[in-house]
């Protein structure tokens, strides 16, 4: 069984996001970048399935600029066998990513495609679902537990009401939740080994996919500053403020 894992390079979750002075976007120059956190869970799960003897190969793929191969290298360092970088400059929307991944799936013929449930930069939560529609494959989203059977997956997924367990036939698309597993850290020896693993580079234009954005971003601005809180001396004062100032009771 072959598993394809899509990973994305995003601004590190510990970084304080700053908006450009002209409001055209956020500052990314000289900013720490890292793998989208749920994508780390996707890679970890794929590697665990391979270590259990249920998969023969794990391939990490990313879509982005030249520097995005750092994200693939990290996936290789934690257990992926080889990587693919589809080079695209500028903003690329989920539909274009889905179409690119469709081309990669057609080429690699994987049995499973894993990815994070959503990216922390745009929070779109669309790529997995769009890819499933393009391929006409079953999908299991927000996976918090995966059990591989002979020709299917039993997936426990997180929903508003609690947990839901479904079974999907393979090949299928799975989007992974943060509670699926605990991603491992790459050891120094494995980081060195990852430098020797192959990364295939493909230009998006060679795949015949139109990556031109369909959404025009007009302006980006920071949320309003939160007002400082106040302290009250008694419950009675709290009730009066909630009643007269906040108008909530």
pLDDT tens digits, 82-126: 999 999 988 889 999 999 999 999 999 999 999 999 998 888 899
The pLDDT of residue 7: 96
* pLDDT value of residue 26: 83
pLDDT of residue 186: 86
Phi, psi (degrees; rounded to nearest 5) at 178? -65, -25
The answer, yes or no, to whether the previous bond of 171 is cis (omega within 30 of 0) is yes
Give the whole-angstrom CA distance, residue 57 versus residue 77.
14
Model pLDDT, residue 23: 81
All domains in the chain, ordered by first residue: 2-244 (3.40.50.620)
What is the three-class DSSP state of 244? helix
66 contact partners, CB below 8 Å, separation of at least 6: 85, 87
Indicate the Cα dihedral angle 101, 106, 111, 115, nearest 10°. 0
In whole angstroms, give the CA distance from residue 91 to residue 78.
28
Residues 190/78, Cβ–Cβ less than 8 Å: yes
Angle at 162 between CA 151 and CA 146, to 5 degrees: 25
Report pTM: 0.84
Coarse DSSP helix, strand, coil percentages of the chain, rounded to the nearest 5 percent: 30, 25, 45
- Residue ranges in the chain whose pLDDT is less than 70: 248
Transcribe 36-95 into DSSP letters: -HHHHHHHHHHHHHHHTTS-SEEEEEEEESGGGHHHHHHHHHTT-SEEEEEE--S---HH
Query: Going by C-beta distance under 8 Å and a sequence separation of 6 or more, which residues neighbour residue 219?
Result: 23, 24
pLDDT at residue number 128 = 94
**pLDDT reported for residue 27:** 83
pLDDT of res. 213: 87
Integer Cα distance of 74 and 45 in angstroms: 15
């Amino acid at each position: 069984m072959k598993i394809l894992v899509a990973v994305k390079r995003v601004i590190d979750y510990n970084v304080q996001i700053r908006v450009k002075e002209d409001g055209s976007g956020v500052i990314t120059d000289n900013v720490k970048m890292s793998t989208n956190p749920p994508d780390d869970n996707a890679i970890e799960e794929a590697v665990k399935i391979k270590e259990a003897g249920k998969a023969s190969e794990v391939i990490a793929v990313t879509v982005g600029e030249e520097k995005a191969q750092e994200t693939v290298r990290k996936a290789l360092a934690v257990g992926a066998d080889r990587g693919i970088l589809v080079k695209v400059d500028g903003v690329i929307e989920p539909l274009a990513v889905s179409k690119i991944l469709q081309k990669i799936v057609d080429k690699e013929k994987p049995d499973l495609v894993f990815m994070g449930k959503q990216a922390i930069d745009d929070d779109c939560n669309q790529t997995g679902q769009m890819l499933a529609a393009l391929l006409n494959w079953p999908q299991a989203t927000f996976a918090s537990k995966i059990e591989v059977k002979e020709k299917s997956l039993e997936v426990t997924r997180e929903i508003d009401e609690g947990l839901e367990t479904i079974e999907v036939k393979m090949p299928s698309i799975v989007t992974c939740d943060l509670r699926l597993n605990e991603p491992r850290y790459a050891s120094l020896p494995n980081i060195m080994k990852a430098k020797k693993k192959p990364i295939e580079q493909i230009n998006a234009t060679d795949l015949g996919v139109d990556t031109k954005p369909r959404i025009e971003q007009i302006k980006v601005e920071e949320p309003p500053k939160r007002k400082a809180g106040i302290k009250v001396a008694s419950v009675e004062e709290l009730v009066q403020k909630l009643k007269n100032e906040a108008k909530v009771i």
